Amino acid sequence: MSEMHAETVGYVRDTMLPEQDPPATSVGAIGWLRENLFSGWFNAILTVLALVFIYWVLAAILPWLFSPTWEATSLNECREILRDMGREGHFSGACWGVIRDRWVQLLFGFYPSGLYWRPILAFVLLFVALGPVLFSDYFPSRMIWFSALYPFLMPWLLWGGSIWTPILVVVGLGIGYGVFRVVAAATGNLAGLIAAVVAALVWWVFIVGPLSGLIHSVISLGINQVDSRNFGGFMLSLTIGVVAIAISLPLGIVLALGRRSDLLIVKALCVGFIEFIRGVPLITLLFVASTLLNIFMPPGTNFDIILRVIIMATLFASAYMAEVIRGGLAALPKGQYEGADSLGLDYWQSQRLIIMPQALKISIPGIVSTFIGLFKDTTLVSIIGLLDPLGLSNAIRADSDWNGIVWELYGFIALLFFIFCFGMSRYSMYLERKLQTGHK
């Protein structure tokens, strides 16, 4: 009987059951909540406590944020508006009238109001110039020429003066390149590079000013000049940050290569510079730029304070940038260097085509972090008397109409910095995804 039963029972299914939908509690919003917020009793308790804390914070902040005081002209008027609504107390509501009254000053400082179009144009052209560099897939390759010319156009738009000055500065680059080709063909690339830098510096420091004035006296082309003391607000922070970021990256690359060089003098100079700058706080360098630097300059020399700050901020950021890039170079396998040698490439060709692109890709998070830190550090210039947004906030609070305003001003300034810093961090994530070549 058992043998007959064994022959009639099948152990392999010959028909498939119809496919069923997954349980509603494991998919969609409910499934996500169960998996991420209520996966266990401890996780559920933490979720409930977090929701209670978020409710408590929002219940205190949202009424303060949505305060109908935009049209107020003083702190006392803000308090009267809130008192009429039955909202008493120091934190009963924000006084947004100060932002309506002073937002232009927080953005442009004391820049002449009739010339606001110049910093606005410079800011718009900044995004146009960054387009071919940051989003090369969406912009024509020919626009890279405008990106190369923008560093000379932006100072002219902001400070004004003769058009011949930026033109002669560009000519200095051509002179440096010509000197490099001549000297490098005779003695080598290193000597050519040193000679090119010296020739360009001599041209810019000693020749551009007098020659520009001479040409301008014959052919007067230019726009109204604006003194640096009129610069302020977020425009000042953006100017210092953009210029320092743009220059610190190539300078950091050069310092990183110099620190890994086999040439003793070059390596010693780069190591000394990097370690000295990294061992000194930025605020110390800014004090040197604002006070001590004039002591070592010839009598009667007018060295613009904003230019001095930009130089110090650039040197400070380039030292940290050099270490970030050096880490990327050290992370590359030895086979990449050997592969470049096997192709018969010289040092600069291998760095440009094989080594440096990979090192920069590895270093993207550190590079962007250095950029963000540098941009936020521009607020330190308020300590040396420059009226960046924080410096202007102190001046605004000194006005009797707005004496006592704190959170509204600092919140508005924090929002401006957050927008730019968050944008840089998001672009870094986009660039990492774009350059991703390995398996996830």
Task: Tell me the one-letter amino acid at 387.
Answer: L
239, 193: one domain: no
277, 392: one domain: yes
Query: How is residue 272 written in tokens?
Result: 């000394």
- pLDDT class for 438, splitting at 50, 70, 90? low
CATH number of the domain that 259 lies in? 1.10.3720.10
Looking at the 3D structure of the chain, how many domains does it have? 3
> By residue range, what is the domain housing residue 165?
161-222
216, 238: one domain: no
161: phi then psi, degrees, rounded to nearest 5: 100, -160
Name residue 223's beta-bridge partners: 161
Residue 251 lies in a domain: yes
Name residue 162's beta-bridge partners: 222
* CA angle, residues 240, 242, 247, in degrees to nearest 5: 95
Residue 2 lies in a domain: no
Residues in the chain: 440
- pLDDT class for 440, splitting at 50, 70, 90? very low
59, 190: one domain: no
Half-sphere exposure of 10 (CA within 13 A, CB side): 4
The residue-averaged pLDDT of 251-265 equals 90
284, 192: one domain: no
* CA angle, residues 249, 253, 255, in degrees to nearest 5: 115
pLDDT higher than threshold 80 for residue 276:
yes
Task: Tell me the one-letter amino acid at 99.
Answer: I
pLDDT digit string, tens, across residues 76-99: 898 888 888 877 665 678 889 999
pLDDT, position 297: 65
Query: pTM of the prediction?
Result: 0.83
pLDDT, position 350: 87
